[in-house]
């Protein structure tokens, strides 16, 4: 065995350590992709892409899959797919409610986002602090959200949505969250209205006053140069779903356009397209080649 010096910008993922993953991203000046699973084939696509790109990845149980199969089944399905693979990756609850957080702790999620952004600031601080205590007691890092990340196609007065710098400082100091999802001009989903450029100055100020890694949701559709600037300003976890979902769908449509086909054939085509799209994201985010899966 050779004794290779440890590169602090890389992480061996034999055991998922989400905090270390994001810290490595911070030292290495890149962001880790966090993508939603929807069924076995989309989970396989994310895992396969991570293997191909040698990239860390957060496998997210997101808002769409929860009413579809429930938090437990989504977790167990993701666990099964990971166990079959050559990698390990954190299974992350995205936008969890308080009750889902409690369930996720019991199930053994590696990483949890509690979304209290609909609450007023005082209540968001109170509940998030409680979530942080429970999760940290179980060794699970917590992402929380401050400011509102609007859904696409809503007409928007951005000042109602942006994360405020002073509130972010107080929120992080009083809750002890590990990462903060912020609102800085990005929407969830696809939008027909003109894209708002990211408020990089705001990202940078929030990063400075909170001192913790930031998270950007809705990264699909944000131009690559803006994402790079966001990473430089302190964003080290990027959540994207729409582009990958569209890639999967394009595979399905392509297969069915050839005539009547089995669903399995169509899903294989979807999975192939999604693998390619995910590898591309990992390269854009700068996390490709940092996982050391082959150590
Ligand atoms: Zn989100």
Structural domain that includes position 83: 18-285
Question: Does the residue 10 lie in any domain?
Answer: no
Neighbours of ion ligand 1 (CB under 5 A): 217
Give, for 225, the enclosing helix (H) or strand (E): helix 224-233
146 vs 166: CA distance, rounded Å: 11
Percent of the chain whose predicted confidence (pLDDT) is above 90: 80
Q: What is the mean pLDDT of residues 262-282?
A: 98
- Number of separate domains in the chain: 1
**CA 163–ligand 1 middle distance (angstroms):** 14
79 vs 88: CA distance, rounded Å: 9
Terminal alpha carbon distance of the chain: 11
Q: Where in the sequence numbering do the catalytic residues fall?
A: 94
pLDDT at 254 over 80: yes
Residue 109 belongs to domain with CATH number: 3.20.20.70
What pLDDT does residue 8 have?
A: 47
pLDDT at 281 over 80: yes
Question: Does the residue 82 lie in any domain?
Answer: yes
**CA 112–ligand 1 middle distance (angstroms):** 12
pLDDT at 197 over 70: yes
pLDDT tens sequence across 44-56: 999 999 999 999 9
pLDDT at 9 over 60: no
Which of 9-23, 62-76, 188-202 ranks highest by mean pLDDT? 62-76
Give, for 114, the enclosing helix (H) or strand (E): strand 111-114
Lowest mean pLDDT among 35-49, 75-89, 138-152: 138-152
Question: Does the residue 239 lie in any domain?
Answer: yes
**CA 32–ligand 1 middle distance (angstroms):** 15
**CA 219–ligand 1 middle distance (angstroms):** 9
pLDDT at 114 over 80: yes
Question: Does the residue 182 lie in any domain?
Answer: yes
Q: Where does the pLDDT of residue 191 fall: very low under 50, low under 70, confident under 90, or very high at 90 and above? A: low
pLDDT at 161 over 70: yes
* CA-based nearest residue to 118, from 100, 95, 137, 138: 95
pLDDT tens sequence across 96-106: 999 999 999 99
Dihedral, 151, 154, 160, 164 alpha carbons, nearest 10: 30
Task: Report DSSP letters for 149-207, one per residue.
Answer: -PBTT----GGGTSPPHHHHHHHHHHH--SEEEE-SS--BS--SSPPPPP-HHHHHHHH
pLDDT at 13 over 60: no
Q: Where does the pLDDT of residue 153 fall: very low under 50, low under 70, confident under 90, or very high at 90 and above? A: low
Percent of the chain whose predicted confidence (pLDDT) is above 70: 92
Question: Does the residue 293 lie in any domain?
Answer: no
Question: Does the residue 57 lie in any domain?
Answer: yes
Contacts of 275 (CB under 8 A, 6+ apart): 45, 48, 49, 52
What pLDDT does residue 139 have?
A: 96
Number of Cβ within a 10 Å radius of residue 41: 20
What pLDDT does residue 292 have?
A: 85
Question: Does the residue 295 lie in any domain?
Answer: no
What pLDDT does residue 250 have?
A: 98
Question: Does the residue 257 lie in any domain?
Answer: yes
**CA 289–ligand 1 middle distance (angstroms):** 26
The region that residue 147 occupies, defined by phi over 0 for left and psi between -120 and 50 for alpha, beta otherwise, is left
């Amino acid at each position: 065995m050779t004794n290779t010096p440890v590169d602090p910008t890389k992480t061996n993922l034999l055991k998922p350590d989400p905090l270390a993953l994001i810290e490595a991203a911070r030292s290495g000046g890149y962001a880790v992709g966090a993508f939603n699973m929807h069924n076995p084939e989309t989970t396989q696509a994310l895992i396969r892409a991570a293997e191909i790109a040698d990239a860390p990845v957060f496998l997210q149980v997101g808002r769409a899959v929860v009413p579809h199969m429930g938090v437990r089944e989504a977790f167990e399905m993701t666990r099964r797919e990971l166990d079959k693979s050559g990698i390990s990756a954190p299974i992350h609850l995205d936008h969890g409610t308080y009750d889902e957080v409690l369930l996720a702790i019991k199930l053994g999620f590696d990483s949890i986002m509690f979304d209290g952004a609909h609450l007023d600031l005082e209540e968001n601080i109170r509940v998030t602090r409680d979530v942080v205590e429970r999760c940290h007691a179980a060794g699970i890092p917590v992402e929380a959200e401050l400011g509102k990340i609007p859904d696409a196609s809503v007409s928007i007065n951005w000042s109602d949505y942006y994360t405020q710098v002073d509130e972010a400082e107080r929120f992080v100091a009083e809750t002890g969250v590990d990462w903060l999802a912020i609102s800085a001009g990005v929407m969830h989903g696809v939008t027909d209205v003109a894209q708002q450029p990211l408020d990089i100055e705001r990202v940078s100020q929030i990063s400075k006053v909170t001192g913790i890694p930031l998270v950007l949701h809705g990264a699909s559709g944000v131009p690559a140069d803006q994402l790079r600037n966001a990473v430089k300003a302190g964003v080290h976890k990027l959540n994207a779903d729409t582009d990958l979902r569209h890639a999967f769908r394009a595979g399905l449509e392509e297969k069915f356009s050839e005539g009547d086909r089995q669903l399995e054939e169509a899903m294989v085509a979807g999975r192939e397209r999604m693998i390619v799209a995910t590898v591309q994201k990992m390269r854009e985010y700068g996390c490709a080649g940092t996982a050391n899966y082959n150590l």
